[in-house]
Structure 1
């Protein structure tokens, strides 16, 4: 059996590296653990014998394994044959679906982020949306994997998802057409005198693709004065790829460290010599959808004083999962470590705070100003604590929001402010002293949503339908579909 190190996005794998899997612990017949396992066997036998209809023992045991691991934290879970196959396919960057990262929460499917250039993004589905029904049938209470299966299908087939969105009074339907999703994780272009590098996720070729495309951009624009690295709504991915991307801009030093239960169990990742931009200023764009591997890059460049962070505080996914191969194409995904930025920060639950806090719109700023509306790692009831006991910054007024005359439908205010920072040669204090935006006025918060999301989800359940299972899947690792 093998152990694969992961720590994905609110979500998937961080790194892949096979190591020897430790032998299973032996339990003495006198131990409490042995007695509990015996109890489990007795209960299973009673269900098999006396339940009102015949049961599938394999499904019962799978459900027990899923529940046991999900009780640990949002990212530990049991991977059945189909789940394990899906996980391995995701890191290769191509799969079928509608292009969402999702997780299970309170019996509903919650959107982590829509992926670039996919049906879900084009239809306007947003991070933090709840999907409560598919094709008119409620999925409330349905295990996450079952809900995901309902959203999969052949390319060019249609489905309709029912969305509950914070700030909207009523649920609404979104029609979609399934496609083969090919993740294009790297894009480049010029923004005036400055380069723009968008990384949407960290799959198997991201670091090499970023290096190749950035080199081509520099070759075509030798007078490029700096770079915007856009990591907004990047849910994470492979650790080795995030290390490779950070290494493109550093001339040595630590990128990230990984620390497990044993204080001596530390793995450090170091940058090699060679900065592709030769010290030219860099601004990294982040938001609450920036998670895991994307936070590694953000934290490394911020701590090493190599980049300025503009945007909003990141998701706060600072834990590492190991995928332990059990054979027969089954595995356990288990949280085994936290990761730390070069200065020693554990950003689990707290996230990376920007040097210049900027919201895309007043609506987004309202989310930050209302604690109940924020979707981050800290929102999970069983999330692993930050190692130093730090807490995420509470609800507050964002430093800058777009002015009233800024068209947020056609313009990108966070990018505008990032370019301002570059024009000041990376000096965030000068950029902050010359704001283009404003803060939210008290009147902007008068109409902030107050209805409970649970009530909205119930209202979104189509009449005459029955939800799948009364127990929800809270294995909160995000899945792509």
Structure 2
């Protein structure tokens, strides 16, 4: 993606791409014609009487952008540049700093900094506001304008001024622009556990997870104790990849359903027989930056009790955007449905609540840093069922499991407390599963162990 910021894709989460087809227009009543006449009157007045001459294309683009912006934060018009950017992102590589952002009251606000990108290495965090680029104010402009200013030759530096809640003064961070070839999936073996880091849902994600599981078996010299599916700060991506990834770990049942405007406008996606993990324990790691497609996977595995979800409550984006081509190089990205987990729960606004909430204690300012979610976006879709946080009885005593400070953990060599906790949990679950397998009674007449 040629952009430094991901305006058109950062919060997409679940995208359905369909071919261009003939469009059926809804009937237009008399009142609508009156409104169209009024629009044309405004259009003519502006183009003839505005203090400066404005070309018709600019006015029409502004009208389209304004119409879609009045709907929800995820519907938008993609011009030639935006359309190419989206296609490039789903292919798995883009140029820039590695930020997922949105625009809030004229300010560029960070949703997440993708792992191993210039932004993440420079310490940019969720909730940060970007106010200046190379000393030039970007507050009050559009996100596209900020993107244009961040573009540049790979390797060249850009100075970003950051306002971070909890700090008294803004501070500057200098990063080098880069062509980011972001792998959708990375993997490693830790403590006999397969750790699969899913960064995004592009068209190769599921295939790469399959390859990762094979690689883990080879590197481990056999099956691991279990798998950790790390989807923290994963902004989402393609809907079909969320479905196929969930299917890897499920034998049967519904994965997700999407429901449109009409009562009968429901599409359901089901798992096919076959669990690629062979029943081994699975932990899904999520945080406030895990959105939409990541939430589909977490919700499916949680509802089917196939995976234990750990970390923080997710972003809460429960809508599907359909890409409707308007020509060869432009498209309309329109919110056309809400999606629901197998239990019938919409994650819109509320997100996925972990089975076990684990604070990121290795982050020294995790308590002070604000979490930014779908419910904070203006004009976000409202969940039909009121979202209320569960009331949990609190005795006021600190949880001894989460009493360590970042400094204490660092001395012990723990750089990622959430991952460490998940690894220890898998070790307990895997050992227990292995013990049960050893103690299973053999059928009558079975040969003793080791007999050939």
Task: Report TM bin, short chain.
Answer: 0.7 to 0.9
CA distance in 1, matches of 2:391, 2:135: 37
Matched, 1:413 2:417: yes
Match of 2:23 in 1: 22
Matches within 5 A, 1:212-251: 212-221=211-220, 222-251=222-251
Matched, 1:422 2:426: yes
- How many Å apart are 1:402 and its aligned residue? 5.2
The partner residue of 1:382 within 379, 383, 386 is: 379
Match of 2:41 in 1: 42
Q: Deviations over 1:10-51 (max 9, x none)?
A: 2355233337443233535xx221111111111111111111
Residue 143 to residue 323, structure 1, CA distance change in 2 (3 Å): same
CA distance in 2, matches of 1:426, 1:127: 34
Q: What SS does the corresponding residue of 2:140 show, helix, strand or coil?
A: coil
Verify the 8 A CA contact 1:8 1:14 in the aligned structure 2: no
Q: Deviations over 1:245-303 (max 9, x none)?
A: 11111112111111111121111111111111211111111100110100011000000
Verify the 8 A CA contact 1:252 1:271 in the aligned structure 2: yes
Match of 1:143 in 2: 142
Match of 2:444 in 1: none
CA distance in 1, matches of 2:116, 2:130: 20
**Larger deviation, residues 308-317 vs 381-390:** 381-390
> Structure 1 length as normaliser, TM-score?
0.82
CA distance in 2, matches of 1:191, 1:134: 40
Q: What SS does the corresponding residue of 2:367 show, helix, strand or coil?
A: helix
Matched, 1:68 2:67: yes
CA distance in 1, matches of 2:153, 2:366: 38
Query: Over aligned residues, Cα RMSD in angstroms?
Result: 2.4
Q: What SS does the corresponding residue of 2:149 show, helix, strand or coil?
A: helix
Q: Deviations over 1:126-170 (max 9, x none)?
A: 112111111111111111111112112221222111111111111
Matches within 5 A, 1:165-314: 165-221=164-220, 222-314=222-314
Q: What SS does the corresponding residue of 2:410 show, helix, strand or coil?
A: coil
CA distance in 2, matches of 1:153, 1:15: 31
Match of 2:124 in 1: 125
CA distance in 2, matches of 1:378, 1:427: 40
- How many Å apart are 1:199 and its aligned residue? 0.5
Q: What SS does the corresponding residue of 1:269 show, helix, strand or coil?
A: strand
Higher gyration radius (CA)? 2
Residue 99 to residue 394, structure 1, CA distance change in 2 (3 Å): farther
Matches within 5 A, 1:71-150: 71-150=70-149
Q: What SS does the corresponding residue of 1:195 show, helix, strand or coil?
A: strand
- How many Å apart are 1:424 and its aligned residue? 2.9
Q: Which runs of no fewer than 5 residues in structure 2 stay unpaired?
A: 1-7, 433-452
Q: How many pairs are equivalent?
A: 416
Q: What SS does the corresponding residue of 1:314 show, helix, strand or coil?
A: coil
CA distance in 2, matches of 1:292, 1:410: 30
Residue 215 to residue 402, structure 1, CA distance change in 2 (3 Å): farther
Residue 59 to residue 249, structure 1, CA distance change in 2 (3 Å): same
Verify the 8 A CA contact 1:9 1:291 in the aligned structure 2: no
More relative contact order, 1 or 2 (CA 8 Å, 6+ apart): 1
Q: What SS does the corresponding residue of 1:300 show, helix, strand or coil?
A: helix
Q: Deviations over 1:366-395 (max 9, x none)?
A: 258xxxx33100111311011322245699
CA distance in 1, matches of 2:12, 2:266: 22
Matches within 5 A, 1:390-401: 390-391=387-388, 401=402
Q: What SS does the corresponding residue of 1:18 show, helix, strand or coil?
A: coil
Match of 2:347 in 1: 347
CA distance in 2, matches of 1:309, 1:175: 36
Verify the 8 A CA contact 2:9 2:89 in the aligned structure 1: no
> Structure 2 length as normaliser, TM-score?
0.87
